[in-house]
Chains A and B, each alone.
Chain A
Amino acid sequence: MVDATVQQSQVALTDDGIPLKTKLARATRRQKLRALGLVLPLVLFVLITFVYPIGDMLIRGFYDPLVSEVLVRTGDVIDEWDGTDLPSEEVYEAFSLDLQEAAAARDHGKFALRLNFILPGTRSLIMSTGRKAKNLDPAEIDNYQAYLVDINDEWGEREVWAAIKRLTNPIQLDYYANAIDMRIDVDGSFVSQAEEQRIYLTLYWRTLWMSALVMGLCLLLAYPLSYWLSVLPLRLSNLLLIMVLLPFWTSLLVRTTAWISLLQEQGIINDVLVGIGLLDDDSRVRMIYNEAGTIIAMTHILLPFMVLPLFSVMRTIPPSYMRAARSLGANQVYAYVKIYMPLTLPGVAAGSLLVFILSIGYYITPALVGGQRGQLISNLIATHIQLTQNWSLAAALGAILLAGVLICYWMYNKLIGVDNLKLG
């Protein structure tokens, strides 16, 4: 008793007087190093190919040092300007010198573009001023404000300077504002985009409801199928499961193209409908290159992701639960709803989560069969990456999408618990 308390109050030592902790660390060091060596290649791979590019992309969405690197002097002094009146002579001087340098290095074009983005019409102002400022000699000028206003009256307007002040800050939320159909005016407040320029929120909303619909359709189709598979003898159910998985081994492109030949206006389904007289030849149904095409093709492609978790959960539910419920007085329907369905919930949740998250980011299928009305947000992100080269806007759109997925995951965790997830 006394011995034990004495030992507890002191540092535990081994027989040769080294603290037990040190000795333990030494004894397991080799093991830890080996474990680290085994995971290191993968960690590096993930860091280089996954974490770094995504992180870079995310930062690109709000960090834009282009202007602040060009307008170094201006950036230093313009912070002191409160933005109410015109800036001080100091700012005019710093800007003139910055512009001279930029014009000499031909950097002022990019900066002009950015400024024009915030305050339309300023591109020509910068370009024309830049042409003249190239030949600026500081010794000849005693008032830079007068010098600039002399070149162009607009240099006497507060708005231009407010826009420049905002651009000297490398953190730019403009892309995020654009991504939710808003823009930031020269003074930094959020305003709605003009009606005809609002496209992204509609697309987010469409992505959301179409993903939810695809998820719902998958669940509707997969639930009875999985139930049937789970009650079949093992040999038969394995065979049928392979048929469910068969599309996985076919190229996504092939599967999607198959839907085109089935669904298009001169396609098989329309031909059959016309052939049996259900449709007139001139009133063929448009089932592809719109929302319907995207939904049908995506439901087909994502169905296995719903079947697998459902099947694996259902197969582990012993029939005695249903029998017990029946013997306790519940009819078939009541027993199914109260006993069987709650037990399949982990599978339902896992499948739904998988399908929903996959379809939120779906790209190829909507691009091929979606037409104009069946495009999802990821198609627009791709457009900004490939065509318009507006990577910052693409990054902002992508980051918002990622946030949406994370919120879904968080809600799922709150409602069901990730521990209950059964993916098969």
Chain B
Amino acid sequence: MAEGAANGEIAVRFDGVQKSYDGEILVVKDLNLDIARGEFLTMLGPSGSGKTTCLMMLAGFEPATHGEIFLNDRPINNVPPHRREIGMVFQNYALFPHMTVAENLAFPLIVRKMNQTDVDAKVKRALEMVEMPAFGGRRPAQLSGGQQQRVAVARALVFEPELVLMDEPLGALDKQLREQMQYEIKHIHESLGVTVVYVTHDQSEALTMSNRIAVFNDGVIQQLSSPETLYELPDNSFVAQFIGENNKLEGVVESIDKDDTCTVKLDSGQVVKSLKINVNQKGDRTMLSLRPERVVIEPKKGEVPNILEGTIEELIYLGDHIRTRMTVAGHNDFIVKVPNTYGHKPLKEGSVSKIGWQTQDCRALDYYTGPIE
């Protein structure tokens, strides 16, 4: 069964898709994914996780080794790329250097044998959409990176495809421009209502733009959900560590308790309570996931059920909060974000401090020690 789309009609369906380049290693292992019409879905993952391969299979540049891909309920495995009516924005834009911006935009229209008046009107409208009406006569080499990016987006949209694929389109831009373009692409998506499948390895990009994010690792979707769910309720250790900042504590499950909680004995000997997410029985090895902003420093008596002691190793003043690195339960990379509020207790490097957390903020996940990036 494919993992269900959030709502509405299904635009794209991957059904049991597998992909291997060399006949030995599966780059994509059994991919089942439904993408709803009008959705902005991001495939997020470290390099080599199979996300770009999925995109290339959808675009038609790579054949699926096994399984079937459906576009609007039509199987497309044997449809060549130019008949799929899918717009695509490439990593390095792939604007044709021997054509002007206007000729680049007109290319998909002329291929479709549209008459010249309509072509001109559509090119003009597309240039206005990306706020570059005066740039039609320029060559791509005469544009800045950001401008080329906009033209590439406009070109992928000018022939009005229902589905647009974007393969790390912002990777070559500097940070500030990248953030600006994120909003622009998001707004274009909202105003046109096209379905967008977006590939990136940048989690903040994914969190900013997407309706849903599919986190890839090792050829498998680890979790498919909205940005909020992904951050707050990670399903497994990889997702918890890949998305946002995460504190991990390693231990063994001592007992499975009621209300979906469990008791975990940490490797350093302390016993804590946690939500039972990805552990099954007593004796399972587990990684506890705890977001830094959910850790309370110097909790009042009875405020939180779990309390440990930690040594403050390093303090970094960041204005709105103080980033505090501590050694807790044998882990020297335990981060606590201490809000810079009125009357907070001054911390000193080297001092020992109590920390604590609510049970529902701590998630007992699988024991994952593979690479994250």
Contact = CB atoms under 8 A, between A and B. Distances in A.
Interface string A334-370: 1100110011010000000000000000000000000
A88 interface: no
Contacts of B112: 329
A84 interface: no
A327 B59 contact: yes
A328 B159 contact: yes
Contact of A334 (B80, B87, B111): B111
Interface in B224-243: none
B88 interface: yes
B111 A328 contact: yes
Nearest to A329: B111
B199 to A, nearest CB: 14
A325 interface: yes
Nearest to A327: B88
Contact of A323 (B61, B95, B159): B61
A339 B96 contact: yes
B46 interface: no
Interface in B95-144: 95-98, 107-108, 111-112
Contacts of A338: 107
A37 interface: no
A342 to B, nearest CB: 5
A321 B94 contact: yes
Nearest to B88: A327
B328 to A, nearest CB: 48
A330 B94 contact: no
A223 B87 CA distance: 31
B60 to A, nearest CB: 8
Interface in A293-350: 318, 320-321, 323-332, 334-335, 338-339, 342-343, 345
Given A339-B96, A343-B97, A325 B107 contact: yes
Interface residues of B, number: 27
B205 to A, nearest CB: 20
A325 to B, nearest CB: 7
A273 B112 CA distance: 51
A330 B107 contact: yes
B82 A326 contact: yes
Contacts of A328: 82, 87, 107-108, 111, 155-156, 159
B61 A326 contact: yes
B276 to A, nearest CB: 46
A327 B156 CA distance: 9
Given A328-B108, A328-B159, A329-B108, A320 B91 contact: yes
A311 to B, nearest CB: 19
Contacts of B81: 323, 326-327
Interface in A43-62: none
A330 B82 contact: yes
A318 B94 CA distance: 8
Nearest to B155: A328
Interface class of chain A by DSSP? helix
B25 to A, nearest CB: 18
Contacts of B95: 324
B311 to A, nearest CB: 52
Contacts of A321: 94, 96
A320 B155 contact: no
Contacts of A327: 59-60, 81-82, 84, 86-88, 156, 165
Contacts, number: 67
A324 B87 contact: no
Contact of B85 (A329, A334, A335, A339): A329
B92 interface: yes
B90 interface: yes
Contacts of A320: 90-92, 94
A409 to B, nearest CB: 23
A334 B113 CA distance: 13
Contacts of B107: 325, 328, 330, 338
B54 to A, nearest CB: 15
A55 to B, nearest CB: 41
A33 B256 CA distance: 88
A342 B159 CA distance: 23
B91 A324 contact: no
A410 B271 CA distance: 86
Contact of A330 (B90, B92, B111): B111
Nearest to A338: B107
Interface in A239-264: none
B78 to A, nearest CB: 15
A335 B108 CA distance: 11
B172 to A, nearest CB: 13
A324 B153 CA distance: 12
A331 B80 contact: yes
A331 B82 contact: yes
A323 B111 contact: no
A328 B87 CA distance: 6
A326 to B, nearest CB: 4
A324 B96 contact: yes
Contacts of A326: 60-61, 80-82
B57 to A, nearest CB: 13
A343 B80 CA distance: 23
A316 to B, nearest CB: 11
Contacts of B98: 342-343, 345
A105 to B, nearest CB: 70
A324 B94 contact: yes
Nearest to B56: A323
Contacts of A324: 88, 90, 94-96
A329 B79 CA distance: 12
Nearest to B90: A320
Contacts of A329: 82, 85, 108, 111-112, 159
Contacts of B155: 328
- Which of B86, B95, B111, B159 has most chain A Cβ within 10 Å? B111
Nearest to A322: B94
Contacts of A330: 82, 107-108, 111
Contacts of B80: 326, 331-332
B92 A318 contact: yes
Contact of B90 (A323, A331, A343): A323
19 contacts: A318-B94, A323-B88, A324-B94, A324-B95, A325-B96, A326-B81, A326-B82, A327-B60, A327-B82, A327-B87, A328-B82, A328-B107, A328-B156, A328-B159, A329-B82, A329-B85, A329-B159, A331-B82, A345-B98
Given A323-B59, A324-B88, 11 more contacts: A318-B92, A320-B90, A321-B96, A326-B61, A327-B60, A327-B88, A328-B87, A329-B82, A331-B80, A338-B107, A342-B98
Interface of A: 318, 320-321, 323-332, 334-335, 338-339, 342-343, 345
5 nearest A-B pairs in the assembled complex, by CB-CB distance:
A324-B94, A328-B108, A320-B94, A327-B88, A326-B81
Interface of B: 59-61, 80-82, 84-88, 90-92, 94-98, 107-108, 111-112, 155-156, 159, 165
